[in-house]
A and B are shown apart, each in its own frame.
Chain A
Amino acid sequence: MSHEYVPEIAVDRDGKKHEVQGWQGDFYGGKLGFWLFMLTEVMMFGAMFLVLTYYYSLHTQDFLDASAHLNRLLGGTNTVVLLFSALTMGLGLLKMRTGDVKGAKTMIWATIILATLFLGIKGVEWTEEYTHGVFLGLDALQSGNEHSRPFGQILFYGMYFTMTGLHGFHIIIGIGLMIWLVKRIDAGKVSPHHHILHFNIALYWDLVHLIWVFVFPYFYMIGAGDVTGGAIHGH
């Protein structure tokens, strides 16, 4: 709103005054709305984890074999990168709250760089998998040909590319949001007194990294038994 919003006053029968909550400048409402939106993301990824768990129970050994072939070094590095980006994002918000706008901007740029790094590593990882013939649409993940993997592996990789792909899509959206946030800060629309946008984007980023915290062990670590010294016996 271009001009300052002045809340209306309602008066009850005893003459007591009550401030009316308007939709303008409702920080708490903006927060609530975004938390609810995050809930929809949880439901969406939750459904995919459900699918994953179901197929894990049907094809346990195939899942472990497929997982063992994922690149844990790159996946692990990415996990660290993303955790650091969550830290920079959080620090940025703290700085914004305490009035350090310049510091907040630096932290947002740091987050953007870390997010881009994450995508870069993800790209290397997917390319590597592609050259090994494992990618959506390639023969190995289709049934009924000489390269076909077992059912469970097809399902595992199918879900792997779907979920890390959707997660990566969220990262891209996040980068866009952060660049927009920097522009809004420069335009003076986001300030220490009015930082709901910063707050919500930080919340979004937390969710994006939280989802990864679940994606990483479910895909990369379940088949790590052979590497780490035998958490899985009897195959």
Chain B
Amino acid sequence: MSNSSNSGKSYLEAGETHYAIGHPKSVFMQWMLTIDHKRIGLMYAAVIFVFFFVAVLVALSIRIELFAPGAQLFDGDSYNQAFTLHGVIMIFLFIIPGVPAVFGNIIMPLMIGAKDVSFPRLNWFTFWLYIFGALIALSSLWTGNGFADTGWTFYAPYSLNTNTNVITTLVAAFVLGMASILTGLNFLVTIHRLRAPGMDFFKMPLFVWGIYATAWIQLLATPVVGITLILALLEKMFGIGIFDPSKGGDPVLFEHLFWIYSHPAVYLMILPAFGIMSEIIPVFSRREVFGYRTIALSSASIAGIGYLVWGHHLFTSGMSDLAKTVFSFLTFFVAIPTGVKFYDWVATMYKGKIILTTPMLWALGTMITFVIGGLTGVTIAMIGADIHLQDTYYTVAHFHYAMLGGVVFLLFAGLHYWFPVMFGKMYDEKKAKIAFYLNFVGFNVLWFPMFIAGYQGMPRRYFDYLPEFQIYHQISFFGALIFISGLAYMFYVLIQGMKHGKPSGTNPWHATTLEWHLPSSPPPLENHSKVPYVDFRPYEYHHGEPVVKFDYKTMKRID
């Protein structure tokens, strides 16, 4: 693909960029103070993947402990802290910022033809708020009585009584929630205001739809958990009694308020990831996406229905039977728009010209793992089955299939797909595919046995177990080894690609959306040389070739 004669250097190298404060000279400060959405997105990526690996290592230590019955590595208390640390990092520091913070920042403005997000300075502030929250969370590892041991859900009344550092973790979660709210707010205004002329909502790429639906959840659900955490905090400090049964408070109310946010939060994680899937499938099938409008609207309806299902976390907490039935019924409904998406993706591939590149492999792998994760979710949405399976390894396996095998796999897919946009280089496809297969096999060996163990009654969050479960834990352990090697190898391949990869050109995948029509790769500071007029649908292919072509100097259509 052609590189235009745009004289601007790429955003990675340019000494000149927009800053929050002043005009720093050193390269380091230029990054610290940048308000360029692409640089901020890259910094998010660097930080969240560091946290990801920390949490993976904690998970590995949990697996080592569980290799045999009895205490090996941990006693019960430190085991509780270990799974809490794993959960808190994975949820609050990795997967919630995850796709929106990285690709929402780097790619979304490129896709809609904007120069930046609506509030670039707020974006900079948000990034540092996130870092600040992360530091508060980690500080509690070394202070006071050690990290919280409540699990990432902080259920009352235990969280109110334990003397570990729950307060610090609650403050951290609140600050991180603020960062998430501000990210969502910024994206909502960006998508409403800064779309290129001609691009109406139904000409937006589907990833933008995913980010849009997500941003509403970030905005409307996060404040509820924020205030819940504040109430829990005040409860711990002053004993106001709200969640404390010894003063007439109701601990189940905490569970309600917590899940009013935290269940929509899982859709907050998956919707932008589905957006990545909707980008990859049409590009590597060389076909216009099937059912564009239904995919777009299913994102919106998942975000809407997702608000009304939180009660399914409380089937064993003493809710009324009527409430259980209603929540169970509503939970099944989420499967409908999700199913619509899956059938649309499959229909897009039908009679397409499928090209098995690494991003496509990740997307296809996710179709398998997420279907397992999603459908096992439907089984535990049934009240009767849930009574048996709640808080067992079945549930653990379910949400890891959905979150890791769905969100994180698609995050990796996006990482491979948009790698040329971010760095202007290409990784080694052959090695990246090997990394995928290692991950895919390791993942399934790691998690699938847990469905069986959980079905037979292995409870979650126990550091010890009956001998009959040993075989499942041991298979899981070997799966974990394969999976972690796969992860390490994948990042090795990507980093090698970053350093020594061949120049990729601006559109190596023959994709159609605007982030592939930049003047250079990696893009210059203010993105497109000129803002194009958008009078085309996002995925127009004809006989396997993109329909829309641009003159990259003027950004006028020349097809």
Contact = CB atoms under 8 A, between A and B. Distances in A.
A40 B533 contact: no
A10 B196 contact: yes
Count chain B CB atoms within 10 A of each CB in A33, A141, A150, A151 and give the residue with the most: A33
A23 B249 contact: no
A8 to B, nearest CB: 5
A23 B117 contact: yes
B189 interface: yes
B118 A33 contact: yes
B234 A162 contact: yes
A26 interface: yes
A22 B557 contact: no
Interface string A143-165: 11000001110110011011000
Interface in B229-258: 230-231, 234, 238-242, 246-250, 253, 257
Contacts of A60: none
Contacts of B331: none
B224 interface: yes
Contacts of A45: 227
B194 A23 contact: yes
B188 A36 contact: yes
A137 interface: yes
A82 to B, nearest CB: 22
A233 interface: no
A43 B189 contact: no
A43 B224 contact: yes
Contacts of A158: 234, 238, 240-242, 247
Contacts of B196: 10, 20
Nearest to A41: B223
Interface string A119-139: 000000000000000001100
B206 interface: no
A72 interface: no
A59 interface: yes
Contacts of B192: 29, 32
A44 B227 contact: yes
B194 A8 contact: no
Interface string A31-65: 01100110111011111101100110011000000
A28 interface: yes
A23 B116 contact: yes
B270 interface: no
Count chain A CB atoms within 10 A of each CB in B120, B192, B238, B246 and give the residue with the most: B238
Interface string B212-224: 0000000111111
B197 to A, nearest CB: 4
B213 to A, nearest CB: 15
A193 interface: no
A144 B246 contact: yes
A33 B223 contact: no
Given A10-B197, A41-B223, A137-B238, A151 B248 contact: yes
A53 B35 CA distance: 43
Contact of A39 (B190, B219, B556): B219
Contacts of A11: 533, 554, 556
Count chain B CB atoms within 10 A of each CB in A22, A26, A36 and give the residue with the most: A36
Nearest to A138: B238
Nearest to A18: B197
A116 interface: no
B226 interface: yes
A44 B239 CA distance: 21
Nearest to B121: A23
A4 interface: no
Contacts of B507: none
B13 interface: no
Contact of A136 (B221, B238, B554): B238
A21 B193 contact: yes
B519 to A, nearest CB: 14
A51 B226 contact: no
B531 interface: yes
27 contacts: A10-B530, A10-B531, A12-B198, A12-B533, A18-B533, A20-B531, A21-B194, A29-B193, A29-B194, A33-B188, A39-B220, A40-B185, A43-B220, A43-B223, A44-B226, A46-B224, A48-B231, A50-B257, A51-B242, A51-B253, A54-B253, A136-B239, A144-B246, A151-B247, A152-B248, A155-B241, A159-B242
Interface of B: 114-120, 122, 181, 185-186, 188-190, 192-194, 196-198, 219-224, 226-228, 230-231, 234, 238-242, 246-250, 253, 257, 260, 530-533, 535, 554-557
List 7 tightest A-B contacts by C-beta distance, closest first: A151-B248, A158-B240, A18-B197, A12-B533, A43-B223, A136-B238, A44-B223
Given A23-B118, A44-B226, A44-B227, 8 more contacts: A12-B197, A23-B117, A40-B185, A41-B223, A43-B224, A54-B250, A55-B248, A55-B250
